Amino acid sequence: MSLLNDLINLNLSETTKKIIAEYIWIGGSGMDLRSKARTLPGPVTDPSKLPKWNYDGSSTDQAPGEDSEVILYPQAIFKDPFRKGNNILVMCDAYTPAGEPIPTNKRFNAAKIFSHPDVVAEEPWYGIEQEYTLLQKDTKWPVGWPVGGFPGPQGPYYCGVGADKSFGRDIVDSHYKACLYAGVNISGINGEVMPGQWEFQVGPSVGISAGDQIWIARYILERITEIAGVVLSFDPKPIPGDWNGAGAHTNYSTKSMRNDGGIDVIKKAIEKLGLRHKEHIAAYGEGNERRLTGRHETADINTFSWGVANRGASIRVGRDTEKAGKGYFEDRRPASNMDPYVVTSMIAETTIIWKPWEATNWNM
């Protein structure tokens, strides 16, 4: 094993200028991450300088077997925390050979929204709280839980310390450092209310980069759990019953909200979100109805609400924002398995572009 580790950790820069680029994309389920590597002649920092590539879409449920070629367009570059050196991770989206985005390419429409002049002018910031659950590989039961049984009730586990309260911290800390190394703007981590469940936060990120960074952070976490022999779950309610679900609370602000008097802009944005509650819920993650029950720090899925410092509301406004009269708000509805390209762009489209009180609206 020591020889294997030595080979894995070889420093390529000592003998060659060539680098390894790991191309990453989202598979047909909308949650399965795929990747493959290629050799490039030298370091690259601009995704537009990277070559396009292709893959077999019939093996990812994204193309028929008789016309299976799907083209990868490099969109964002991150440092590779696994191979280190000048090697890179490349976040891609997928297109047909004719240059049309395939149906599962959610980044394309998100980029369209984020390039709208009204959205560009508002500089939307996002901070996403990504919750997840670590499962034992053979039983698919949360780490730290007795096989076939249950731990003590919730209470001591949130931000808990100790062998009987915190399970999987080595994975979590490894992920934290790997994201910082890669260039992901990860801003923190914490243990969650249900034992075996954790959260990392990414942001503030501007526009389309919020989606790129969450997907890369998810990819890095998948790779680390693969090494650790643990299964990563983004199920919004992994364990039925009196246990917290997993969400992806999305904190959001625009330039107008961050300026003096921004609280009025925030209230108007929340009103617009309420008018499109059903549309947002439909796009906020599969299985979210099992999580948004009105219990365990959630609002009921069928009812839109907002409040100051209220974790049982659809939208929470912080005390600091209320006091300052400007700032941000938190959309607590997105599930842990949401697509960040969809959620971030939809919030921007609804709050900035959509004008329900005018006859003409911009069409996506």
pLDDT digits (tens, 9 = 90+) for 247-296: 999 999 999 999 999 999 999 999 999 999 999 999 999 999 999 999 98
The pTM assigned to this predicted structure is: 0.96
CA 267 to chain centroid: 26
Asked if 301 contacts 289 with a C-beta cutoff of 8 angstroms, the reply is: yes
Q: What is the pLDDT of residues 315-364, one digit of tens each?
A: 999 999 999 999 999 999 999 999 999 999 999 999 999 998 774 554 54
- Report the percentage of the chain scoring pLDDT > 70: 98
363 burial level (CB within 10 Å; 0-12, 13-18, 19+)? exposed
C-alpha dihedral (177, 178, 181, 184), degrees to nearest 10: -100
Which residue in the block uniquely carries the two structure tokens 């598979």? Answer: 27
Tell me the fold of 115-353: Creatine Kinase; Chain A, domain 2 (3.30.590)
CA dihedral 302→303→306→311, nearest 10 degrees, is -60
Q: What residue segments make up the domains of the chain, in order of their start? A: 1-104, 115-353
Q: In this predicted model, what pLDDT tens digit does every residue of 143-157 receive, in sequence order?
A: 999 988 999 999 999
**pLDDT confidence of residue 251:** 98
* CB atoms inside a 10 Å sphere around CB 41: 9
Which option is the CATH number for 1-104: 3.30.870.10, 2.30.110.10, 3.10.20.70, 3.50.70.10?
A: 3.10.20.70
Cβ-in-10-Å burial (0-12, 13-18, 19+) of 106 comes to buried
